[in-house]
Structure 1
Amino acid sequence: MAEMTPEQQQALAIAAARLRLQRQPQQPQGLPADDAISVARTGAGGLLEGIPIAGPIIRDWTERAAGATLAAFSDETYDQVMDRIHDANRAEKEANPIVDKGAQITGAVAGTIPAVMAAPAAFGAGGGSLLLRSGISGLTGATIGGADAGVRSGGDAEKIKEGITLGGLFGLGGPVAGKVIGAGARSLVDVLRTRAAARVAGMDPQAFGYFRRAVTDDGLDAVTLPQRLQEMGSKAIPADLGPNLQKQAGALAATPGAAQTTIRTTLADRAAGANARIGQTIDETTGRNVVPSEVQADIAANQNAHSPLYREAFREARPYSTEPIASALEADISRLRGPAQARLRQVRGMLNVADSNVLSTDPGVMFQTRQAIDGLLKTEIDPKVISALTEARQMLDDGLTRAVPRIKEIDAGYAELARQDEAVTRGQQVLDSGRTAPRPSELAGEVERGAQPQGMQIGPSAVPLRLSQGARAEIDRIVGTNSNDIVAMNRLIKGEGDWNRARLATLFGPEKAERLFKVLDNESVWADTANTVTRNSETAARLAAQNELGGGASGNFGVKEAFKAGGFLGAARSAAVDKVDDIVRALMSSETGNATRESLARALIGEQREKLVQGLMRAKGMGTTPASVDPVVKALLLNAGTSRTR
């Protein structure tokens, strides 16, 4: 009624007046008939008149307009018509007092609600403390009460004072009442929402309430919960997604019944397949496993296969004078001191004919001397010795190239196999954390250089393949020695920081490395869930038994008490722990039925995920007060004060 246009209000009043005149043309002072039309007229007038401050003015204006219109079409004067309208109004009010009072209250509330919604801060719904908001609301209530009383009493000072007092008092209590009534309305709405959402989710209402609370406390909702489950793979369950959900699973796992069987069986079955899932992923991302010793044995066999090729090449060799090489070595020997001098003197002696001081011209002697130098270099650590031996080897290699034309082709094949052998060993160091492990940039450089052909080799090298095989073998070793400890396996393969991720990406590709790490992360989370649920359930079961036998400590955990000792932050953590423990104790109590526990267990292991998500979506908004409650409460209280002055 507060939103009627002036034309509508005038038409309503004219119609009401005409009806009165038609029904009682000869009885202006008599009581109207107590029928539906009289009740309707009383209600319509009460709605209009109940609007605070403006209501009486609007009704008076519309009645005056109606009186002027009726007087123009009758033999009565304007004053006579108005007297009859006023008399009829009073009579109908006396005949229908309840309807009139209810209509005025309804009109008052309906007329105030738009103002409360338009300017909530003026009615104590803004920011600030409860005391501040109550003061603002009281001031607004006093203003409205005084103004309304002044309009209705024609400016009576006593009435205005009374309106200010009552309006201020009722306005002062608006924020508090709104909070209390809002909490009650919120609880009622939450109960209804929970039941409706539980039906959609296919769950017991109490179980759904537990589940939704844990989901919310773990920072999840109807959108993020299915996203997280999808990211973690097909074996993921809601109990993996947060500590509150895990606590509930632990409580159910400790309570005998169908729910316990459901939780424990699901976790055990999933854990039993962990190694198979990890092994399959490793095979798909890093290739077939190899045994390093077998690979290196094959490489050695291939190197040995070069011996006939060398013999064939040396049949075509011609004598070669090693005098220049010997002279260069003797010059270095005279200049050097220490281990470098001793090693070169040893090499110089190798160039002689056996058991003599005569230089050999047999290219085979140069070849064997070069091979001996290669053996010395494998174990040498002195940089000066290494430098001297490397220079000597190069002189011998140049001489062999001239003496045996085909030797470099054979050397290229032999050297490629030697590089592959070294790469297998190097690949097994990729996941190390010590000084022997390459940095990601170093490994990338080794792979790039390793792929390039060396010397007279034709085509790309197999060094990158051998590096990846060595790393694959090391992964297999880690898995084999930690098959019962998924967390340790995950830590060793992933390492500290991002180096292992980058190194495996270099060897196997970024996508495969990321997939492997994702699977390892998921399996680690799943193993932690099983461990947490089992550990918590066993602890809870022991405490429950102690309490039952009278030896417990009222269900409080010693660890929890220690956890509480942390000042203000500890107090906050304690409140969260207590909240979870309350739910855990409720789930384990005999008052919580088996059907509720079983329903919750099925939700925690992810049965009917789509229905769970639909139920959570249906429950969205729980814990919030309906938007209409606060304006209605404030409007009722403000008009409770003004109504007492009318």
Structure 2
Amino acid sequence: MATLEQIADALRKADAAGNVDDARALAAAYKSMVAQAQPQQLPPDAAPRYDGTDARNDYLDLPIPGTKPAQPAPARYQSPIPGADVINAFANNFAENIPILGPLTTAAADHVGSNLASQFTGKPAEVLRNEAARVRELENQSQPQAAAAGQIAGAVGPLMSVGTTELGGRALGMAGPLWQRLMAGSLSGGAIAGGDSLARGENWDEAKWKALWGAGIGAASPLAERALAPIVRALFGQRIGKPAANIARNVERDRINPAQIRTLLDALGPDAVLADLGPNLTRQAAAIASLPGEGQSIIRDALVKRQQGTNMRIRSDVDATLGPAPVPSRVQAEIKTGQQAMSPEYEEVFRNASAVNTRPLAETFDDMARRYGIGERRRVIDRIRGFLNETDDNGRVSLTSDPSRVFAMREEIDGMFQGETNDKVIAALTSARQQVDDILASGVPGLKQVDARYEDLGRQNTAVGQGSSVLGVGKEAPVPAEVVDMMSPAPASELFIGPSGVPFRVSQGARAEIERLIGTKANNLTSLKDAMKGDGSWNRERLATVFGQEKADALLNILERETTYAATAQPVLHNSETAARTAAQREVEPMRLGSTQSLIGDALLKLPQSAANAAARARSEAVNSRMAAALAGQPTQEYVDRIIAALVANRGKVGSSAVPLLVNQN
């Protein structure tokens, strides 16, 4: 029979080899022999110690399979750090009970931590894991309330946090229509329960049954919440009302954040109504408008009045954005008047003019005439050459030296350009004018500065017409790059002083064209929108170049707003979207009792049926009228709060998040 020393030696060797099972068996034998031996038979170190100085002590504390521990655990564990046992009990249970991830991360952390600690202490990793598990167990026993709180928080808290998001709430069966919540709750409940079971090391059979149990709980949660919600509202005095609840359902269907309702309406415009914010709200308004009663009048009257103000509203908002529209003919007449008003300036420069030598100019024209030979060009040059001749009282012909006569000659040449289509003639006229202009520039100081201002006025006159083509769609319409050139023209000449008025005249022409479109197409918003926006991005770019990006966006937003208004009015006032409105109508029309009729049944039930139908009709019309008032106007903040409350009441608080707490807790 082995002695205590031999068993202790074997225990040390088993520990060094990492043979935990042999070490436990030897530790059990050692304990038994120590208990039976007389004190004088024990070696000096045979008494169990718990100071970690001997490998035997790591195993003497472990429970022997099939027996109770030799030394009972203390009645209440107390951490050496004050309050740490409460925190540890909560934190450990919280982490352990997080669905699916909890057991996986806890096991991984224990494995990594014990192996790392084993490198420093020399103890086997499994021993360290067992010691940590024993400490956690003692903490749970000493702090049962903290452990239970951690268990509940870990099982439910993470999933409820996921449920606060839109996607998470729908996945866990907390949001959406009841049928959707039932399906989502069942699927997510089964997945959570089954996945958590597998993560905790259970076999496939156990996971399968827990998945079925979790699916059942996940499907039952929305039903239970729906059944309990009226009781909770009655107990706490929460009054939402059917109108707000009905509208809230369509707010949710249109994926509108109810807290943003007033912001969305303000962005759309002062005449926007709740029915404009989404297709389901529009159909709800159309359904009410299709039924007789006060609600029909409220909806129809509000939208008819708004539709009648379309033209005035568009014109007023465009005026506020771009300024009043000019009349192109008046603008061009004003420019002509400005040119005429420059006559005194021309007279002033000619007072200081000196005689000019026109001999080189005459010789140039004679040479051009010889080169052109015959034809229209020769005729034009001969005519211009004749302007240089003067005849005195004696009938003698000579070349003029009067700068005023040469200036009049230039004006005659300018007139000859009008209506000319022959390219060769135009080229000849251009060359002749340039040479005349050069003679005047050298003989009349200050003339070119006055000419530059006069020419800029002429370009302004042309720019008014160019501006009217900015929104064109034909071949003659300018591309965006050409509009950029219009708005940043080159100076009339290097002698021109100050900014050109051409860009302003382009914007006046464009503004006048916008006014024309409003006046002729405002009753047809589609045509107006097509004319101003176009099919591509060119019109937006051209408008931004002429008026600036901010004003261009505001202008197009006016059209988008009116298009939205028209889209709301169409199904309400013109009986469109029949199928959609019929489906919505079932939700708001009064219930009909006793539809199955027989002679005897009709005789017995006629009066109570009539009374019930009348009461249902009265209730339905009252609800519809209140809904109509909300849909045809801008709800107050109080009403928005009721919509939010209705959505909250229709949203589950738990869904399938309680599944792991009810299914997978051992």
TM range (shorter): 0.5 to 0.7
Shift of 1:515: 2.4
Work out which of the residue numbers 624, 642, 649 in structure 2 matches 1:597: 624
Quick check: 1:285–1:508 contact (8 Å CA) kept in 2?
Answer: no
Deviations 1:544-580 (CA, angstroms, capped at 9, x unpaired): xxxxxxxxxxxxx4xxxxxxxxxxxxxxxxxxx5xx7
Quick check: 2:388–2:399 contact (8 Å CA) kept in 1?
Answer: yes
The answer to whether the aligner puts 1:297 opposite 2:333 as a matched pair is: yes
Quick check: 1:221–1:616 contact (8 Å CA) kept in 2?
Answer: no
The answer to whether the aligner puts 1:492 opposite 2:493 as a matched pair is: no
Alignment correspondent of 1:436: 476
CA distance in 2, matches of 1:199, 1:127: 26
Quick check: 2:245–2:646 contact (8 Å CA) kept in 1?
Answer: no
CA distance in 2, matches of 1:128, 1:183: 10
Deviations 1:461-507 (CA, angstroms, capped at 9, x unpaired): 32222222222211211111123233433332333433333333333
Aligned-residue RMSD, C-alpha: 4.7
CA distance in 1, matches of 2:582, 2:476: 49
Quick check: 1:112–1:635 contact (8 Å CA) kept in 2?
Answer: no
Work out which of the residue numbers 517, 520, 537 in structure 2 matches 1:481: 520
CA distance in 2, matches of 1:419, 1:484: 35
Please give the TM-score of this superposition, normalised by the length of structure 2: 0.59
Quick check: 1:197–1:618 contact (8 Å CA) kept in 2?
Answer: no
CA distance in 2, matches of 1:620, 1:493: 41
Shift of 1:239: 1.0
Shift of 1:311: 5.5
Quick check: 2:525–2:562 contact (8 Å CA) kept in 1?
Answer: yes
Shift of 1:240: 0.9
Work out which of the residue numbers 392, 402, 406 in structure 2 matches 1:366: 406
Quick check: 1:487–1:527 contact (8 Å CA) kept in 2?
Answer: no
Shift of 1:431: 1.9
CA distance in 2, matches of 1:445, 1:421: 16
Alignment correspondent of 1:614: 641
Alignment correspondent of 1:204: 241
Superposed, 1:23-62 pairs within 5 Å as none
Alignment correspondent of 1:507: 546
Quick check: 1:193–1:618 contact (8 Å CA) kept in 2?
Answer: no
Work out which of the residue numbers 513, 517, 523 in structure 1 matches 2:556: 517
The residue identity in structure 2 corresponding to 1:428 is S
How many residue pairs get aligned? The number is: 474
The answer to whether the aligner puts 1:448 opposite 2:485 as a matched pair is: no
Deviations 1:439-476 (CA, angstroms, capped at 9, x unpaired): 333333332236x5645444333222222222221121
Shift of 1:414: 2.6
CA distance in 2, matches of 1:474, 1:118: 63
Report the CA distance shift for 1:227/1:340 in structure 2 as closer, same or farther (over 3 A): farther
CA distance in 2, matches of 1:114, 1:446: 69
- Secondary structure of the 1:536 match is coil
CA distance in 2, matches of 1:138, 1:407: 95
CA distance in 1, matches of 2:360, 2:259: 82
CA distance in 2, matches of 1:456, 1:620: 72
Quick check: 1:138–1:171 contact (8 Å CA) kept in 2?
Answer: no
Report the CA distance shift for 1:243/1:134 in structure 2 as closer, same or farther (over 3 A): closer
CA distance in 2, matches of 1:119, 1:406: 86
521-530 vs 401-410, greater mean Cα deviation: 401-410
- Secondary structure of the 2:522 match is coil
Report the CA distance shift for 1:435/1:347 in structure 2 as closer, same or farther (over 3 A): farther
Task: Indicate the percent of aligned positions where both proteins have the same amino acid.
Answer: 33
Shift of 1:404: 3.8
Superposed, 1:376-395 pairs within 5 Å as 376-380=416-420, 384-395=424-435
The answer to whether the aligner puts 1:262 opposite 2:298 as a matched pair is: yes
Report the CA distance shift for 1:225/1:375 in structure 2 as closer, same or farther (over 3 A): same
Quick check: 1:210–1:583 contact (8 Å CA) kept in 2?
Answer: no
Quick check: 1:320–1:363 contact (8 Å CA) kept in 2?
Answer: yes
Quick check: 2:311–2:522 contact (8 Å CA) kept in 1?
Answer: yes
Shift of 1:275: 2.6
The answer to whether the aligner puts 1:408 opposite 2:435 as a matched pair is: no
Report the CA distance shift for 1:587/1:352 in structure 2 as closer, same or farther (over 3 A): farther
Deviations 1:119-145 (CA, angstroms, capped at 9, x unpaired): 99xxxx9999799859949988x999x
Report the CA distance shift for 1:349/1:197 in structure 2 as closer, same or farther (over 3 A): farther
Report the CA distance shift for 1:378/1:139 in structure 2 as closer, same or farther (over 3 A): same
Alignment correspondent of 1:419: 459
Shift of 1:234: 2.1
621-630 vs 219-228, greater mean Cα deviation: 621-630
CA distance in 1, matches of 2:208, 2:355: 124
Work out which of the residue numbers 348, 353, 360 in structure 1 matches 2:385: 348
Report the CA distance shift for 1:199/1:630 in structure 2 as closer, same or farther (over 3 A): closer
Deviations 1:331-378 (CA, angstroms, capped at 9, x unpaired): 344445876566445533444459999654444443233223323435
Alignment correspondent of 1:397: 437
Alignment correspondent of 2:324: 288
Alignment correspondent of 1:467: 506
- Secondary structure of the 2:488 match is helix
CA distance in 2, matches of 1:194, 1:210: 17
Deviations 1:140-166 (CA, angstroms, capped at 9, x unpaired): 8x999x9xxxxxxxxxxxxxxxxx99x
CA distance in 2, matches of 1:198, 1:314: 95
Report the CA distance shift for 1:506/1:312 in structure 2 as closer, same or farther (over 3 A): same
Alignment correspondent of 1:150: none
Alignment correspondent of 2:309: 273
Quick check: 1:194–1:209 contact (8 Å CA) kept in 2?
Answer: no
CA distance in 2, matches of 1:454, 1:320: 23
The answer to whether the aligner puts 1:181 opposite 2:181 as a matched pair is: no
- Secondary structure of the 1:235 match is coil
258-267 vs 461-470, greater mean Cα deviation: 461-470
Quick check: 1:322–1:361 contact (8 Å CA) kept in 2?
Answer: yes
CA distance in 2, matches of 1:168, 1:502: 62
Quick check: 1:443–1:503 contact (8 Å CA) kept in 2?
Answer: yes
Alignment correspondent of 1:584: 585
Report the CA distance shift for 1:582/1:312 in structure 2 as closer, same or farther (over 3 A): closer
- Secondary structure of the 1:449 match is coil
Superposed, 1:137-216 pairs within 5 Å as 171=210, 173-188=212-227, 204-205=241-242, 207-216=243-252
Shift of 1:293: 0.8
Quick check: 1:135–1:172 contact (8 Å CA) kept in 2?
Answer: yes
**Which blocks of at least 5 consecutive residues in structure 2 are unaligned?**
1-66, 77-147, 160-171, 173-183, 592-615
The residue identity in structure 1 corresponding to 2:641 is Q
Report the CA distance shift for 1:65/1:362 in structure 2 as closer, same or farther (over 3 A): closer
Quick check: 1:329–1:348 contact (8 Å CA) kept in 2?
Answer: yes
Shift of 1:393: 0.9
Deviations 1:407-456 (CA, angstroms, capped at 9, x unpaired): 43543343232122112222222222234333333333332236x56454
Quick check: 2:185–2:215 contact (8 Å CA) kept in 1?
Answer: no
CA distance in 2, matches of 1:198, 1:441: 66
The residue identity in structure 1 corresponding to 2:558 is V
The residue identity in structure 2 corresponding to 1:347 is I
**Which blocks of at least 5 consecutive residues in structure 1 are unaligned?**
1-56, 67-108, 147-163, 541-556, 558-576
CA distance in 1, matches of 2:310, 2:420: 46
Report the CA distance shift for 1:254/1:432 in structure 2 as closer, same or farther (over 3 A): same
CA distance in 1, matches of 2:250, 2:222: 21
